[in-house]
Copies of this chain bind each other. A is one copy, B any other.
């Protein structure tokens, strides 16, 4: 078997998932990717589980229609509330979320069995990280904090601004106060790696920061191998490495997306799609 040359599909409510794509492309440089940002309906983090499930099904239908060999749900909210729905819908195409890898990395990092998770309101409310962590470490103490303002700060590209530092102090200092404080912080939203330097500055050097983009990329590599979907070493890489789809405002996708992807995105390369017709 010479490996599977089909692209990997990556889906997010918007541009935050590009931090996951960035980690994937770095780890799997020979793979091709199709990225879909549902920018017409972002953010998912403040929407109900039923609505996010319906949107995620429509979005991933497009990726499956593009012939991807695997779907990566690069959105914590959608991973939290829609992963099983998507896995069932697209079987046998494997669907990988970001929650499980993040929980696994958090459990591996903690020494005092106390883990803090910061995320959107929707992810915190659903409690998926706490459940995933306790499945792996039954007596883990998990504290969760929604950090909704971080999303806007990351989209503005304010990685190290005074406003970001003030917001970080507001959200994070109470979490790490006291002798029983967690020793590990899971960045449970794909937007948050953009703010990692300010978050690090706020919580101090002793806290382990878990970036679910990195850990998801490792999980995808593992799942490709386990499912016989990895590219063979002799397989040539064809065509452009990444295709971008957005459901609205390609200009903003390209501009804000560059913050998350860590490199320029050509606006003309972002294809506009209408999921309501998908």
Contacts and interface: CB of A to CB of B under 8 A. Distances in A.
Contacts of A47: 39-40, 248-249
A90 interface: no
B48 A248 contact: yes
A156 B149 contact: yes
A161 B166 contact: yes
A151 B42 CA distance: 14
Interface in A236-278: 248-249, 252
Which residue, of A40, A162, A163, A248, has the highest number of chain B Cβ atoms within 10 A?
A163
A121 B252 CA distance: 10
A170 interface: yes
A148 B156 CA distance: 7
Contacts of A151: 152
A47 B256 CA distance: 13
A260 B42 CA distance: 22
A260 to B, nearest CB: 15
24 contacts: A39-B46, A39-B47, A40-B51, A46-B252, A47-B248, A48-B248, A48-B249, A121-B252, A148-B152, A148-B155, A148-B156, A149-B152, A149-B153, A149-B156, A149-B158, A151-B152, A158-B170, A161-B166, A161-B170, A162-B166, A162-B169, A163-B163, A163-B167, A163-B170
5 closest cross-chain pairs (CB), A and B? A152-B152, A163-B166, A162-B166, A163-B167, A149-B152
Interface of A: 39-42, 46-48, 51, 121, 148-149, 151-153, 155-156, 158, 161-167, 169-170, 248-249, 252
Given A148-B155, A148-B156, 14 more contacts: A39-B47, A42-B46, A46-B249, A47-B249, A51-B248, A149-B152, A149-B153, A149-B158, A149-B163, A152-B152, A152-B153, A161-B170, A162-B170, A163-B163
